[in-house]
């Protein structure tokens, strides 16, 4: 596209997501068809802002901080009130840019409109003043910058994250529309995120009062990639135009680029008018349906904001209550109790809410009937723990480790498995072989990994709901297991057709799902809840797939331990798996015949399997060596704590 035919004001204001199209503003911007000639060089030169600016009316002085962003009209700086140390985001508009009456009116209207807005998801307006050089608009400081910055770092967001942000955007947008205000420039750069990861809708430079269809302004304004067809066709902005932009925002966050982006602005406009875009097959069916429902050519056919919130994309899946700050730069693991709580609580109430009084009346009787049914004969110790009331939340045990099944609160699944393995013996064996490998290992890089390692079972997804039920996990063979708080274990195997149940005394039982004893149905339903949650909301932990194997008794989780940095899982087949939170890397140590295999899953979720003996001889990278040492430290912790004992 030849940009030489554009005026300077067009080049400054017509911004797209393509950085090569208009280089002065690489990400977003506004299109306002100019009626004025080019500005002179003297008008384009902006004087440096003084380090300290003072409001002559109040006498307060403000120290200039870092530049937060810039647009065609203004720049935004971080500023600190020197009398109170309170920090603001300050929009600074040079007086030279508002010398004409209509320019001054535009800024005045923005200020007067923003002053009237008070909503949780709208950037707070504080105050304003001006001096001979600039106009200063003081706004709430959003320290996490904007969704544009998060998008730039992440490229795409997960479905739960998109739901999290869209709910807040829609809340703020409904507030504006109910007050008869159109934003007219919804884009990633105008959604700001504060310290607590809460979203704020901002920049009301193009906002306008909602008019009747006949009175609507026909100006083409907004950001090219987010303009609605009716705006391009000069039919004016309505609330539906903001909804269209919201659909473009959703698409961009989920697909990595705007739906109508091309290298040529005319081609982009043509695609918008024809509603010509692609829906990637990687999107969930619900996401595809929602985007299609929003990006309708006829404004009257578009979903309303309430219809969007009631769409299955929101109602049939999990939305986190809060996102970790790390999600600004990396994919979050949204599986601690707090994000899942609403999902499980709602389902649990529907399943168990009406049975509470019955359970209380016949508690001991029910325990004994289950014990007789599945074991024929159990000890008093077993019956005591079989259907114990939910324990205190894990957060009450806040020493060095957060523990799933500790000897202080509950017994491990099995103190002595049939093959003699216990959590302590597995940890001890892992510590010995890893210590031996590390002590003999020369400096070097990772050796060639095994091209066709023998298939083994590992944990691909997990969810910690131990504050109510227990710890759930999905294995690489698609089996789902839950280690319940009272020490029993239930697994769904063979595509959920078979149920394996294990008591605290290590007695194992197998049932067909269709013929499961009634007394175990409640636990099976909890396992299914966790299975559905993991399927809908969590990504696979790596690319290491399990080859088809003949049905057999699945490996059972004996114990799990959470530290500040990692999750440790110990299985009754001797496998030890450690998942690191920050970068999602994983180490899996398992025994194959007479040798040990160590598998490392990288940040990119790519797996590398080595013979431990080969690492001992040839060495490995510092990254892998560091993680191996951390695993040794975790295993050696048992010597000073009964947690793994």
The residue to which tokens 């008869």 are assigned: 180
185 an active-site residue?
A: yes
Give strand pairing partners of 89.
78, 139
273 is in an annotated binding site: no
**Burial of residue 423, with CB atoms counted within 10 A of its CB: 0-12 exposed, 13-18 middle, 19 or more buried:** buried
Q: Which two tokens stand for residue 365?
A: 């009787």
Give strand pairing partners of 90.
77, 138
Report the distance separating Cα 44 and Cα 56, nearest Å: 27
CA proximity to 574, closest of 501, 505, 494, 635: 635
Instruction: Dump the DSSP string for 563-617.
Output: -SSEEEEEETTS-EEEEETTT--EEEEEEETTEEEEEEE-TTS-EEEEEHHHHHH
Q: Which two tokens stand for residue 423?
A: 């959590």
**Burial of residue 560, with CB atoms counted within 10 A of its CB: 0-12 exposed, 13-18 middle, 19 or more buried:** buried
Report the distance separating Cα 136 and Cα 55, nearest Å: 9
CA proximity to 465, closest of 334, 337, 569: 337
CB atoms within 10 A of CB 292: 14
The residue to which tokens 């299609």 are assigned: 292
116 close to 107: Cβ distance less than 8 angstroms = no
Instruction: Dump the DSSP string for 478-531.
Output: S-EEEEETTS-EEEEETTTTEEEEE-TT--EEEEEGGG--GGGHHHHHHHHHHH
CA proximity to 578, closest of 440, 480, 458, 478: 458
Residues 10, 12, 14, 19, CA torsion sign: positive
Report the distance separating Cα 574 and Cα 427, nearest Å: 9
Q: Which of 48, 55, 159, 185 is catalytic?
A: 185
Report the distance separating Cα 562 and Cα 564, nearest Å: 7
CA proximity to 212, closest of 236, 240, 183, 228: 236
Q: Is residue 199 within a helix (H) or strand (E), and if so which, with residue range?
A: strand 199-201
Write the secondary structure of 418-480 as one string of H (helix), E (strand) and C (coil): CCCCCHHHHHHHHHHHHHHHHHHCCCCCCCCCCCCCCCCCCEEEEEEECCCCEEEEEECCCCE
Binding site for ATP, by residue number, is 91
- Residue numbers in the known binding site are 91
Residues with catalytic roles: 185
């Amino acid at each position: 596209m030849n940009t030489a035919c554009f005026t300077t004001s067009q080049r400054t204001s017509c911004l797209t997501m393509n950085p090569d199209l208009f280089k002065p503003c690489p990400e977003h911007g506004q299109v306002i068809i100019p009626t004025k000639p080019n500005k002179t060089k003297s008008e384009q030169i902006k004087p440096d802002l003084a380090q300290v600016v003072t409001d002559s009316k109040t006498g307060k002085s403000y120290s200039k901080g870092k530049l937060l962003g810039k647009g065609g009209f203004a720049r935004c700086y971080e500023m600190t009130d020197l009398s109170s140390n309170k920090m603001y985001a300050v929009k600074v508009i040079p007086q030279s840019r508002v010398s004409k009456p209509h320019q001054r009116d535009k800024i005045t209207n923005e200020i007067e409109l923003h002053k009237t807005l008070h909503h949780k998801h709208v950037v707070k307006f504080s105050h304003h003043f001006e001096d001979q050089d600039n106009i200063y608009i003081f706004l709430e400081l959003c320290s996490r910058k904007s969704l544009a910055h998060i998008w730039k770092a992440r490229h795409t967001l997960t479905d739960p994250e998109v739901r999290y942000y869209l709910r807040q955007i829609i809340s703020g947008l409904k507030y504006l529309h109910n007050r008869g205000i159109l934003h007219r420039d919804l884009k990633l750069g105008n959604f700001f995120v504060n310290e607590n990861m809460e979203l704020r809708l901002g920049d009301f430079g193009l906002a306008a009062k909602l008019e009747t269809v006949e009175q609507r302004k026909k100006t083409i304004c907004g950001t090219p990639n987010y303009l609605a067809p009716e705006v391009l066709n000069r039919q004016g902005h309505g609330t539906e135009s903001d909804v269209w932009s919201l659909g473009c925002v959703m698409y961009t966050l989920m697909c990595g680029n705007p739906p109508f982006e091309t290298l040529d602005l005319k081609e982009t406009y043509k695609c918008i008018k024809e509603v010509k875009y692609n829906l990637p097959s990687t999107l969930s069916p619900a996401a595809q349906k929602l985007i299609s429902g929003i990006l309708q050519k006829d404004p009257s056919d578009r979903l309303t904001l309430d219809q969007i919130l009631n769409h299955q994309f929101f109602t049939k899946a999990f939305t986190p209550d809060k996102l970790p700050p790390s999600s600004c730069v990396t994919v979050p693991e949204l599986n601690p109790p707090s994000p899942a709580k609403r999902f499980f609580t709602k389902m649990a109430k529907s399943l168990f809410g009406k049975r509470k009084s019955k359970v209380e009346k016949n508690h001991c009787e029910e325990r004994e009937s289950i014990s007789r049914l599945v074991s024929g004969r159990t000890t008093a110790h077993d019956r005591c723990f079989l259907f114990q009331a939910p324990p205190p939340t894990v957060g009450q045990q806040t020493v060095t480790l957060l523990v799933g099944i500790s000897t202080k609160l509950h017994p491990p699944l099995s103190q002595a498995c049939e093959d003699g393995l216990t959590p302590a013996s597995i940890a001890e064996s892992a510590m010995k072989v890893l210590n031996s490998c590390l002590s003999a290992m020369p400096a070097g890089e990772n050796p060639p990994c095994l091209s066709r390692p023998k298939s083994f079972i590992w944990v691909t997804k997990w969810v910690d709901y131990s504050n109510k039920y227990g710890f759930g996990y999905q294995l690489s063979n698609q089996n789902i297991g839950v280690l319940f708080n009272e020490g029993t274990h239930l697994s769904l195997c063979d595509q959920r057709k078979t149920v394996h149940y294990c008591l605290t005394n290590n007695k194992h039982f197998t049932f067909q799902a269709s013929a499961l004893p009634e007394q175990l149905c409640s636990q099976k339903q909890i396992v299914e809840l966790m299975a559905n949650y993991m399927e809908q909301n969590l990504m696979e932990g790596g690319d290491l797939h399990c080859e088809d194997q003949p049905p057999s008794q699945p490996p059972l989780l004996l114990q799990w331990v959470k530290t500040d940095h990692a999750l440790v899982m110990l299985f009754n087949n001797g496998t030890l798996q450690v998942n690191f939170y920050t970068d999602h890397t994983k180490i899996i140590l398992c025994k194959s015949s007479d040798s040990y295999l160590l598998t490392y899953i990288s940040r990119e979720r790519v797996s590398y399997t080595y013979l431990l003996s080969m690492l001992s001889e040839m060495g490995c990278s510092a990254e892998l060596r560091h993680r191996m040492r951390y695993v040794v430290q975790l295993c050696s912790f048992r010597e000073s704590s009964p947690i793994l004992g």
